[in-house]
Amino acid sequence: MKITAISTEEFRWPRHKPISNGMHTYTHSGLALVKIETDAGVTGIGLGGGGAIGRATVQTLARDLIGEDPIDVERLWHRMWVPKLIGRRGLTTRAISAIDIGLWDIRAKVAGLPLFRLLGGFRDRVPTYVAGGYYEEGKGLRELQQEMVESVALGARAIKMKVGAVPIAEDVARVKAVREAIGPEVKLLVDANCAYRFYEAIQFARRIEQYDIFWFEEPVAPDDYEGHRKLAEQTSIPIATGENEYTRYGFRDLICNHCAAILNADAKVLGGVTEFMKVAALAQAHDLDIAPHGSQDIHVHLVAAIANGLILEYYRDTVDPMHGRVYHHTLRINDDGTVSPPDVPGIGVEPNYRELEPYRVARDAVTADA
């Protein structure tokens, strides 16, 4: 089998209203794809590779990958990742991630297996939390409580809210309100998106410990390993981080610096499925859990595949107005608060072009004849 063409597609649509976390405001959502075609008629779908830099990186790498066997993921990953030139960190590594995910989609389709079974098949239902609790215009405590109650009504046994964009006392009040709304049995996670200095994070953590917080995510800047460690030593709340970390080397450093109890590895960021599985093994060797950040569509397979997969992040329609219309198969929360990966060969992310086409913003391709 040989790769014959690699293309990128990108779609972008407005949100219901702008949403903000501790550091950033988002007015739109979207989808970026890498499609890898083969001479065997099998097409792999990779998630990511969008934006001008992402698309340019995929096009550059495609010229070296066309004619190669897509099954050889380890060799191709190292062919793409050349740290002096491309892929050490940042958007070029994210482009490598998208291609790698597409290669694994091909692998699983050729094997006739869902990706999670090809990778290990540890379970077919994974614990899940609903991500939300963003800052929005007109969203006060009552509206925040209502959103969280609705997420629990969907079947969620755990929910996450944003913190860090307002004064500490105000965020403490928000955390208190959510805990009162959801009751004592639902897990409550908070996410600062790197908004604090370490001493601010310590102050905040001490004030919310009484509300039984499941984890405190990205409290400080990604490279502030010492700040993570200082915070972890000063609070009973488990620290989670890693969504902005790259490759096994970055996670090695997080682990060696005792930054976190839970690693938010993101396959779309750190280097794809190939590198994610190495990070998961490294974490397992240190008795640490993996709770991936971002796209439930790829990560449901990865959490299901590994023994130290803790919980899946799940985004609902309050965050993305296209929820349920992007793919032909949409993940749903089971009645026990879990999510099951699609029982189809590959990842199960076949785009629903009928819904997506009005929002297309880019398409690029490299073929064997280019």
Same domain for 258 and 208? yes
Same-domain check for residues 327 and 244: yes
Give the per-residue pLDDT at 304. 98
User: Is 293 a residue of the active site?
Assistant: yes
Residue ranges for the chain with pLDDT beneath 70: 369-370
Residue 66 domain-assigned (yes or no):
yes
Q: Which residue has the tokens 């709340």?
A: 237
Q: Do 353 and 234 share a structural domain?
A: no
Q: Is residue 33 part of a domain?
A: yes
pLDDT at 363: 84
DSSP state, residue 235:
-
- Joined together, the tokens standing for residue 357 give 């086409």
Three-state secondary structure call for residue 316: coil
Decide if 307 is inside a domain: yes
Q: Report the pLDDT value the prediction gives residue 296, as an integer from 0 to 100.
A: 96
Please say whether the dihedral angle defined by the alpha carbons of residues 247, 251, 254 and 256, taken in this order, is positive or negative: negative
Q: Are residues 179 and 260 in the same domain?
A: yes
Q: Is 328 a catalytic residue?
A: no
Q: What type of residue sits at position 42?
A: V
Domain that holds residue 106: 3-112+349-367
Residue 325 sits in the same domain as residue 361: no
| Active-site residue, selected from the candidate residues 35, 268, 293, 301 | 293
Whether 133 is covered by a domain: the verdict is yes
Same domain? For 82 and 174 the reply is no
Residue in 30, 39, 40, 36 with CA at minimum distance from that of residue 10: 30
Q: Give the model's pLDDT for residue 84.
A: 86
74 and 124 in a single domain? The answer is no
Residue type at 50?
Answer: G
Residues 103 and 156 in one domain: no
CATH of the domain at 136: 3.20.20.120
For residues 31 and 124, state if they share a domain.
Answer: no
> Which domain CATH number covers 48?
3.30.390.10
- Is 344 inside any structural domain? no
Which pLDDT belongs to residue 82?
A: 93
- Beta-strand (E) ranges in the chain? 3-20, 25-38, 43-47, 126-131, 158-162, 187-191, 213-217, 239-241, 262-263, 289-290, 312-315, 338-339, 360-367
* pLDDT reported for residue 367: 79
- Residue 149 and residue 55 in one domain: no
How much is the pLDDT for 85?
Answer: 87
Q: Which of 162, 228, 268, 301 is catalytic?
A: 162
Say whether both 285 and 195 belong to one domain.
yes
pTM > 0.85:
yes
pLDDT at 370: 56
Contact 99, 58 (CB under 8 A): yes
Domain count, the chain: 2
**148-193 confidence digits (pLDDT tens):** 999 999 999 999 999 999 999 999 999 999 999 999 999 999 999 9
Residue 128 is predicted with a pLDDT of: 97
Q: Are residues 190 and 259 in the same domain?
A: yes
